[in-house]
């Protein structure tokens, strides 16, 4: 984004770090000097919740840039929808961006760091900032990528740079700490960025997930093995963005078809009961990447088993309606849903 004002030496304020001075703007990142040290922020995104400019005229320019960027993004997405709706099948619309290339629809599962924020009898967590013990695990033991990043608020709290109250405040009122802390608040999952190789830090895309795909959110408890990965929530996608070279893709829902599982329920829905790798299908190994695609039969099997664990709960009727709706709109025969066949119950395991 083109910056139409000199931001160097401008005063800014961060509610956790206090007053700071902008030192540089390079490659879309601001470097700001605070009393606690230097911090990096994405420009102009950081001014949409994290930073505020002391100079009102500077703040106005930045706000206009943020609004212009959001308007362009909204127009691009609407154009994408219009192109898909009006273009003959198989023929690209004039001026269509390459990110709109059609791919076979599939369902999607996300690999999520464990988060016990907001943990209750009805949910594993994923609705608030992690407890101190989980923050320690994710940083010091499992070395999670975002949890150990310099601009992660949890790392700043772990290092004593901000107080626990300040950390919790960052997540309040639609604030942001990490993807996981807001996952069951916003019912949204993002593709993430590439972690290694020559494309490191580039946003990832979601080329196969579309409206009416099933999104499955998975995690594993601290100290557990990959084979113990479980499903803690599912939702029917009604909004998706493939992503491009500047922004990562995402899926979300505003519909009623979303279900979260308690810890006990989730432990009975092991992800690798339903999914397997094309190479070595008998081995439960996620390896690289934050998401996996799977077909409608696998999705229906997951929803069918959720119906079983939700029997006798207040979600029983919703789970049944969810399964029926998914099968109806995606052409799956309810009476011909097979049994789960993933890595944990692969025929090779029986030998």
**Over 70: is that where the pLDDT of 320 sits?**
yes
Distance CA 332, CA 47 (A): 46
Residue 234 token pair: 């599912």
The rounded distance, in Å, linking the Cα atoms of 312 and 317 is 9
Residue-wise pLDDT for 232-274, tens only, equals 999 999 888 888 767 788 999 988 999 999 999 999 999 999 9
- Give buried/exposed letters for 228-262 (b at 16+ CB in 10 A, else e): bbbbbbbbbbbebbbbbeebbbbbbbeeebbbbbb
> Which pLDDT band, with edges at 50, 70 and 90, does 96 fall under?
very low
Band of pLDDT at residue 350, cut at 50, 70 and 90: low
Residue 40 phi, psi dihedral angles, 5° rounding:
-105, 145
Q: Which of these, 299, 291, 295, lies nearest to 112 by C-alpha position?
A: 291
DSSP string over 267-306 = HTSBGGGT---SSSTTS----S-SEEEE-HHHHHHHHHHH
Question: Can you tell me the distance from the alpha carbon of 177 to that of 169, in angstroms, rounded to the nearest whole number?
Answer: 10
| Of residues 347 and 250, more confidently modeled | 250
The tokens describing 208, both together, are 């196969």
Is 50 exceeded by the pLDDT of residue 195? yes
What's the pLDDT score for residue 102?
Answer: 47
Query: Which of the pair, 253 or 341, is modelled with greater confidence?
Result: 253
Q: Which residues lie below 8 Å from residue 269, measured CB to CB, with a gap of 6+?
A: 230, 231, 261, 302, 305, 306, 309
The second-level CATH assignment, the architecture, of 1-84 is Roll (2.30)
The reported pTM is 0.71
Chain-centre distance for alpha carbon 343: 24
């Amino acid at each position: 984004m083109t910056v139409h004002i000199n931001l160097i030496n401008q005063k800014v304020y961060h509610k956790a770090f206090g007053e700071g001075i902008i030192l540089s703007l390079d490659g879309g990142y601001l470097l700001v000097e605070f009393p606690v040290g230097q911090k990096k922020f994405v420009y102009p995104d950081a001014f949409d919740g994290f930073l505020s400019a002391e100079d009102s005229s500077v703040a106005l320019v930045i706000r206009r840039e943020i609004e212009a960027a959001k308007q362009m993004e909204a127009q691009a997405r609407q154009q994408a929808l219009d192109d898909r709706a009006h273009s003959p099948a198989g023929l690209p619309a004039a001026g269509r961006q390459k990110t709109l290339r059609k791919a076979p629809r599939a369902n999607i599962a996300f690999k999520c760091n464990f988060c016990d924020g907001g943990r209750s009898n009805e949910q594993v967590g994923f609705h608030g900032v992690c407890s101190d013990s989980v923050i320690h695990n994710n940083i010091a033991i499992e070395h999670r990528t975002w949890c150990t990043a310099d601009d992660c608020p949890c790392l700043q709290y772990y290092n004593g740079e901000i107080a626990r109250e300040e950390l919790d405040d960052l997540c309040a009122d639609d604030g942001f700490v990490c993807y996981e802390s807001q996952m069951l608040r916003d019912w949204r999952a993002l593709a993430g960025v590439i972690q290694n190789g020559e494309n490191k830090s580039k946003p990832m895309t979601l080329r196969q997930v579309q409206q009416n795909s099933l999104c499955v959110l998975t995690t594993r408890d601290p100290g557990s093995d990959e084979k113990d990965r479980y499903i803690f929530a599912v939702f029917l996608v009604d909004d998706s963005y493939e992503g491009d070279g500047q922004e990562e893709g995402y899926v979300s829902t505003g519909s009623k078809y979303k279900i979260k599982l308690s810890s006990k329920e989730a432990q009975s829905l092991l992800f690798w009961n339903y999914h397997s790798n094309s190479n070595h299908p008998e081995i439960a190994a996620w390896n690289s990447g934050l998401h996996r695609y799977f077909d409608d039969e696998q999705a229906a099997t997951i929803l069918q088993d959720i119906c079983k664990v939700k029997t006798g709960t207040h979600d029983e009727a919703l789970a049944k309606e969810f399964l029926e709706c998914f099968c109806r709109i995606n052409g799956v025969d309810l009476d011909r849903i097979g049994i789960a066949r993933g890595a944990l119950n692969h025929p090779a395991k029986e030998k």
